[in-house]
Structure 1
Amino acid sequence: MSSNSSTMFHDGHRELQDKFDGRRMADALEKHRRFSEFREQDITFIEGAEFFFIATAHGQSVDCSFRGGAAGFVRVTGPTSLEWSDFDGNSMYRSLGNALRSPRVGLLFIEFGAQPKRLRVNGNCTLSDKSTIAGHKMTVQVDADEIFPNCPRYIPNLTKAAASAYIPDETGASAKPDWKSAEDLREALPENDPHRGQ
């Protein structure tokens, strides 16, 4: 698969590449490791992931957030597209609020273990309030224009103990997090929150 025609580096990247003699390597990585479509191994990795990180920004609002779920909660829907249904959160909508105003997002998928992996997916995000999964408010779709694996050498070898008890089941029900019972927050829960009044 060919890489994109426009460069992924701006003058700030180039300044540091030149200062530390990294331009040749950066150009080689862009040429040989930046993909325009998901490869089979990318699809397997993404759809098997139980979490990823998402970076967003709008003006002075910058956010890096964690997203998690059962394996398969992120679905690759096309050669350059993926989506997930957004789970119940703390109602701040920092990541998705940024994406609503500035659609550029960066996703980082990591696998901890004896053979660690890391994959970056950058692109444009759209939000739909027509989630097909019970208990979810929105579906988040990303159209990727930069897909590239990263060297995983500094990723620690961690053993998975257990999945989160808060991952919703097929009906959308989940365990109640402690913070929803906090005296200073419980009355502020959204009207349709299933844990309200519990």
Structure 2
Amino acid sequence: MLRLIYIYYGTLLPGWNTLRALSHGQRHFIVLWLKYWVIHALLQAFGVLTDFFAGGLPFYAALKLILSVGLWFSAPYSSNHLYNIIKKYVMGKLEPIVEQGFRWHATLDQDEQSSGPRVNKHLLKRELSNLMAEIEMDQAELHKREFFKESNLDRLDRDSMHNVIEYLTERLETQQPGDGKPYRPRRLSDRIN
């Protein structure tokens, strides 16, 4: 039940008010609601940490609910004051780090745009050779299928195989000696003499 209260008062109701301010073009309220969403995101992230470390304390849930309700019912003006406090003390110290990150990211983007994408040549060569081998195997399989279709070898049935066996049996019998003994192949030593 507590989760539904957080979703309704912390997300849905402020979201509706933000959309209403955007649709009416009220610049002052748009700025206030954007500050609310920044504070809301920071509190959600901070809440995950405090839930992990202080979640077992007896009055933690009640304290969290009281602070959240105070923020929700005084929004967006209370979030404006919190935003200004955070901007003054925290962002003043973090701003050089953030600016350095932006500059570093911009130089990476310029390097990638000027030199093109970075490619591992050995990995690319191996992948291309594997791809070529697969293409060759597929082409060989296709030629094999076409050969069997053209030669009609796949249409052999039992009767035709039976005819082949009878023909080979008759041919073997005609090669046997006339004394009725079964044919025995000669050894290599018998052939030499």
- TM-score range (shorter-chain normalised) is under 0.3
Which one has the bigger strand percentage? 1
TM-score, length basis structure 2 = 0.20
Which one has the bigger helix percentage? 2
Query: Which protein, 1 or 2, shows the higher relative CO under an 8 Å CA cutoff with sep ≥ 6?
Result: 1
